């Protein structure tokens, strides 16, 4: 909340034990809010399908969602590098060991903050539509259209150096 205006900022996150790591630019208002101990609610949702019922009222989605509550906590400068490694390893295991590591200038532009999980809730919907008995004879298709987030085939950068092979960690996903 800034000047009575609520904000929701989409961002990458990484779980590190009982805390969530968030990262971004030093200038980010969200990160400055968290570094000063500001309160936050982090939500994450995975959509598993569209649920098509006979009645409009009972249409729904299958999903898994979580709401996490806590307060931001600054990570000391001496621990920023290690926190960034944890963050990247959670997002794409194996990449940190191969990529050029951050230099001093880049580290100065980046901040990682922690949000210790104070409380959290999760909600899940799964399965078929749940229509009212009197609608079961309504003559339309009903059921679930599954949706999922899947990695596609890797697309090499146009300037990729010839002969550099796809890393194992992408080969397994692709
Ligand atoms: C993709 C998606 C689409 C949805 N669409 C609809 C919709 O169109 N209409 C609708 O009524 N509901 C929808 N929901 C469910 C919705 O998220 C709420 O659970 C529901 O609306 C109840 O809200 P409320 O304000 O009464 O919650 P409250 O009773 O005020 O919630 C109390 C506490 O429960 C927890 N909580 C509530 N909902 C969730 C959640 N989804 N995940 C984790 N914790 C939660 C939070 O900690 C919250 O503070 C959708 C959920 C998802 C993931």
What pLDDT digit, counting tens, does each position of 61-102 carry?
A: 999 999 999 999 999 999 999 999 999 999 999 999 999 999
Considering the domain boundaries, does residue 8 fall inside one?
no
- Say if residue 115 is exposed, middle or buried (CB neighbours under 10 Å; 0-12, 13-18, 19+): buried
Scanning the structure block, which residue is given the tokens 């990484």? Answer: 14
Considering the domain boundaries, does residue 42 fall inside one?
yes
60 C-alpha to center of ligand 1: Å? 12
Alpha-carbon torsion, ordered 75, 79, 85, 91, to 10 deg:
-10
Indicate whether residue 126 lines ligand 1 (CB < 6 A): no
Considering the domain boundaries, does residue 104 fall inside one?
yes
What pLDDT digit, counting tens, does each position of 116-142 carry?
A: 999 999 999 999 999 999 999 999 999
- Least Cα distance to 51 among 142, 123, 167 occurs for 142
Which residues span the domain enclosing 60? 14-171
**128 SS3 class:** coil
Considering the domain boundaries, does residue 9 fall inside one?
no
**Atom 34 of ligand 1, nearest CA residue:** 121
Mean per-residue pLDDT, 160-167: 91
Considering the domain boundaries, does residue 3 fall inside one?
no
CATH number, position 142? 2.30.110.10
Q: How many domains, the chain? A: 1
pLDDT over 90 (residue 2): no
Considering the domain boundaries, does residue 1 fall inside one?
no
148 C-alpha to center of ligand 1: Å? 20
32 C-alpha to center of ligand 1: Å? 28
pLDDT over 80 (residue 173): no
Q: What gap in Å lies between CA 17 and CA 160, rounded to an integer?
A: 36
Q: What gap in Å lies between CA 50 and CA 65, rounded to an integer?
A: 15
Considering the domain boundaries, does residue 2 fall inside one?
no
Q: What gap in Å lies between CA 170 and CA 36, rounded to an integer?
A: 38
What pLDDT digit, counting tens, does each position of 47-61 carry?
A: 999 999 999 999 999
Considering the domain boundaries, does residue 115 fall inside one?
yes
Question: Which tokens belong to 26?
Answer: 């030093």
pLDDT band at 9 (very low <50, low <70, confident <90, very high): very high
């Amino acid at each position: 909340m800034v000047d009575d205006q609520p904000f929701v900022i989409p961002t990458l996150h990484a779980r590190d034990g009982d805390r969530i790591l968030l990262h971004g630019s030093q200038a980010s208002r969200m990160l400055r809010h968290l570094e000063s101990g500001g309160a936050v609610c982090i939500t994450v949702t995975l959509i598993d399908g569209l649920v098509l019922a006979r009645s409009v009222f009972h249409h729904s989605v299958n999903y898994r969602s979580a709401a996490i509550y806590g307060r931001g906590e600054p990570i000391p400068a001496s621990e920023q590098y290690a926190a960034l490694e944890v963050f990247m390893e959670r997002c794409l295991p194996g990449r940190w060991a191969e990529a050029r590591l951050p230099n001093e200038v880049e580290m100065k532009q980046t901040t990682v903050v922690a949000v210790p999980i104070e409380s959290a809730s999760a909600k899940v919907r799964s399965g078929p539509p749940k229509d009212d008995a009197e609608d079961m004879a309504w003559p339309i298709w009903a059921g679930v259209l599954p949706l999922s987030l899947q990695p596609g085939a890797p697309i090499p950068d146009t300037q990729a150096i010839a002969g550099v092979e796809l890393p194992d960690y992408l080969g397994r996903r692709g």
